[in-house]
Structure 1
């Protein structure tokens, strides 16, 4: 249950901030800023709530999938985007969980997963 709360709060925070940075820096922020905002939001909330990283990331991914499904005009592309959102954010959650277990350093985990997320966004938007 706490993961649903954490994932929802982090999605609201991230999407609010994402909107601001998209207006400020344009499309390049999808690669250079948005991934870090999302990872900071998801992981700090998870850390402070003592929630499960994988669960919070999964909920965030589901919320992003709903957004993608609603706002993507092409229905085939919408389904694909939705599935990719759930899978990619779940993957980021798994990586964060194990990196944090290994290092016990949440900020280190955020930076590393933020870089991975940035690379993912770079390749997915090409």
Structure 2
């Protein structure tokens, strides 16, 4: 990212003009500005990520999901997925006839980092038996 500084001559600065100077740093092509309510200096600064500066990141693909719910349900339930089976599992009308019709089952709910999931993608051991041929 190239930042262009323009110099110009100011004849007279009005006395009522004031500005705040924010501490900032450019890391990996992004400008970060430090703000703290008590005007303290930064405790630490971001460091350059070598994989980004050397363009060594690999595209892992993307996902697109269409979910039939209110937008607020996603962040609320995504942060605490362990409660899904307890809160949303029982039927609204707890009779045997309705519980068979109106029951959610949240199975195989897992969370893992992408790096853990794709760690062995390039080895033959990670492939299913039928696709090794």
TM-score higher than 0.5 = no
What range is the shorter-chain TM-score in?
Answer: under 0.3
Q: Find the structure with the greater CA-based Rg.
A: 2
Higher helix share: 1
TM-score, structure 2 normalization: 0.26
TM-score, structure 1 normalization: 0.27
Structure with the larger RCO, 1 or 2 (CA within 8 Å, 6+ apart): 1
Higher strand share: 2
